[in-house]
C-alpha cells in the first residue's frame, strides 16, 4: 500500500540532503507549466529548502491558454520567477534549419520546444546559481512520454519513481489546491490530452506498472511496445570502451 504521508516526508528529506551535498546555498530552478508534476515538485522544493531558494521559470511558446495556472502557482508558493517566451527562439532555429533545405517534421516540431526549454532552464540556472529540477514521473518515463535532453533532463529527479497516481497522492498531502493536482495534462501543441495521445489512461498504465495487470490485450501490447521503444531515454549514453 502506497504511503503518501511517508513518501512526502521522505521526498522533502531527500531533496534537502541532495542540496546539502551537491549545492549548498544553491536554488532549485524549475520550469513551471501549471500541471501536477511541476506544481508538486515545486511545492516539495519549497518545503525542503524554503521559498527563497526555489526559482520558477515560466516558458510559454507564444500565447499559452492556461498560463494562468503557472502564474497562480508561483504566487501561491511565494517563489521568485521569470517568464521567458520561447516562441521567437524556436521559430528562429527552425527557420535557420529551413535555409539548408531541411524542413521540420512533426518530431522536430514537437521536441525542439522541449529542448529549448531545457536550455533556458540551464541558462537561468547559471545566472541564479541553481540546480535544475527534473519533473518527469514514472508513468511518463515508462512509455517514453518525454523528450530526450528536453523535459527528461535535469540535475535531480524527485518524482521519477512515482506513478501519476502516487504523485497526485503526494500533492494532496502537500495541501495543494486540487486544480493543480487534477489539471488535465496536455502537450500544449496538438490540443489533445496526454491520455488522448497515448491511447490509454494513466490509471490503466499505473495499474500495469505496479500490479502487472492490464485487462485490455491491445492496450497491454501498446504499453509494452512503447516501453521497449523508449528504453533508450532512461539509459546512460552508450560509450565505446577502448580495449588495451
The number of beta carbons lying within 10 Å of the beta carbon of residue 210 is: 14
Q: How many residues does the chain have?
A: 244
* Exposed/middle/buried for residue 134 (C-beta within 10 Å: 0-12, 13-18, 19+): buried
Contact 58, 84 (CB under 8 A): yes
Question: Average pLDDT, stretch 233-243?
Answer: 92
What is the grid cell recorded at 56?
A: 520558477
Q: What is the pLDDT of residue 234?
A: 92
Q: What is the pLDDT of residues 173-225, one digit of tens each?
A: 999 999 999 988 776 656 678 888 899 999 999 999 999 999 999 999 999 99
Element (H, E) at 46: helix 36-49
Distance between CA atoms of 198 and 142, rounded to whole angstroms? 12
Contact 34, 66 (CB under 8 A): yes
Q: Select from 123, 102, 125, 209 the least CA-distant residue to 161.
A: 209
Q: What is the pLDDT of residue 192?
A: 75
Q: What is the pLDDT of residue 127?
A: 98
Distance between CA atoms of 227 and 24, rounded to whole angstroms? 36
Distance between CA atoms of 228 and 209, rounded to whole angstroms? 14
Q: What is the pLDDT of residue 69?
A: 95
Q: Is the dihedral of CA 184, 186, 191, 195 positive or negative?
A: negative
Q: What is the pLDDT of residue 194?
A: 84
Phi then psi for 164, rounded to 5 degrees?
-55, -45
Question: Average pLDDT, stretch 106-122?
Answer: 96
Q: What is the pLDDT of residue 191?
A: 66
Q: What is the pLDDT of residue 183?
A: 87
Distance between CA atoms of 49 and 26, rounded to whole angstroms? 10
Question: Average pLDDT, stretch 162-177?
Answer: 98
Cα of first residue to Cα of last residue in the chain, in angstroms, is 51
Contact 139, 227 (CB under 8 A): no
What is the architecture, at CATH level 2, of domain 4-185? Answer: 3-Layer(aba) Sandwich (3.40)
Q: Is the dihedral of CA 195, 107, 103, 115 positive or negative?
A: positive
Q: What is the pLDDT of residues 37-79, one digit of tens each?
A: 999 999 999 999 999 999 999 999 999 989 999 999 999 999 9
Q: What is the pLDDT of residues 8-48, one digit of tens each?
A: 999 999 999 999 999 899 999 999 998 999 999 999 999 99
Contact 93, 104 (CB under 8 A): no
Q: What is the pLDDT of residue 188?
A: 61
Q: What is the pLDDT of residue 187?
A: 64
Q: What is the pLDDT of residue 193?
A: 84
Question: Average pLDDT, stretch 86-113?
Answer: 96
Enumerate the β-bridge partners of residue 82: 57
Q: What is the pLDDT of residue 189?
A: 59
Amino acid at each position: 500500500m502506497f504511503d503518501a504521508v511517508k513518501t512526502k516526508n521522505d521526498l522533502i528529506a531527500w531533496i534537502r540532503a541532495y542540496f546539502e551535498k551537491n549545492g549548498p546555498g544553491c536554488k532549485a530552478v524549475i520550469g513551471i507549466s501549471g500541471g501536477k508534476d511541476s506544481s508538486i515538485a515545486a511545492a516539495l522544493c519549497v518545503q525542503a529548502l524554503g521559498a527563497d531558494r526555489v526559482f520558477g521559470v515560466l516558458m510559454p511558446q507564444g500565447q499559452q491558454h492556461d498560463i494562468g495556472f503557472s502564474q497562480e502557482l508561483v504566487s501561491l508558493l511565494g517563489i521568485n520567477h521569470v517568464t521567458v517566451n520561447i516562441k521567437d527562439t524556436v521559430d528562429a532555429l527552425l527557420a535557420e534549419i529551413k535555409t539548408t533545405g531541411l524542413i521540420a517534421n512533426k518530431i522536430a516540431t514537437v521536441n525542439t520546444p522541449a529542448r529549448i526549454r531545457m536550455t533556458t532552464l540551464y541558462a537561468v540556472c547559471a545566472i541564479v546559481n541553481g540546480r535544475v529540477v527534473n519533473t518527469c514521473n514514472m508513468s511518463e518515463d515508462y512509455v517514453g512520454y518525454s523528450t530526450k535532453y528536453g523535459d527528461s533532463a535535469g540535475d535531480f529527479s524527485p518524482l521519477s519513481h512515482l506513478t501519476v497516481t502516487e504523485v497526485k497522492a503526494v500533492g494532496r498531502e502537500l495541501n495543494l489546491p486540487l486544480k493543480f493536482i487534477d489539471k488535465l495534462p496536455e502537450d500544449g501543441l496538438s490540443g489533445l490530452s496526454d491520455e488522448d495521445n497515448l491511447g490509454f489512461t494513466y490509471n490503466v498504465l499505473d495499474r500495469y506498472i505496479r500490479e502487472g495487470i492490464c485487462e485490455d490485450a491491445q492496450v497491454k501490447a501498446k504499453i509494452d511496445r512503447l516501453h521497449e521503444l523508449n528504453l533508450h531515454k532512461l539509459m546512460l549514453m552508450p560509450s565505446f570502451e577502448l580495449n588495451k
